[in-house]
């Protein structure tokens, strides 16, 4: 008979991380390199140009749209 308590390893409901702490923004500018890396792509001239266009169109919010 096992004495482990599976429910003891789960965090209680009130310990859920608040949404405001889950965002990636640190108050700094988002660079095209940040956007490419967050998208999981390689840093290539083509991908950097894609990121520049996306940042120009969407601003720093483009990074938030890629990250959970």
Residues 4, 7, 9: CA angle, nearest 5 degrees: 80
Token pair in block for residue 43 = 């840093």
Q: What is the pTM of this model?
A: 0.59
Q: CA 40, CA 31: separation in Å to the nearest integer?
A: 15
pLDDT by residue for the chain (68 residues), tens digit each? 555 555 556 555 666 766 666 555 556 688 999 999 999 999 999 999 999 999 999 998 899 888 86
Separation of alpha carbons 47 and 64, rounded Å: 18
At residue 7, the pLDDT reads 56
């Amino acid at each position: 008979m096992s004495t482990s308590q599976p429910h003891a390893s789960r965090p209680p409901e009130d310990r859920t991380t608040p949404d405001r702490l889950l965002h990636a923004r640190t108050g700094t500018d988002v660079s095209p390199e940040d956007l490419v890396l967050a998208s999981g792509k390689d840093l290539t001239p083509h991908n950097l140009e894609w990121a520049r266009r996306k940042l120009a169109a969407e601003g720093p919010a483009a990074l938030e749209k890629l990250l959970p």
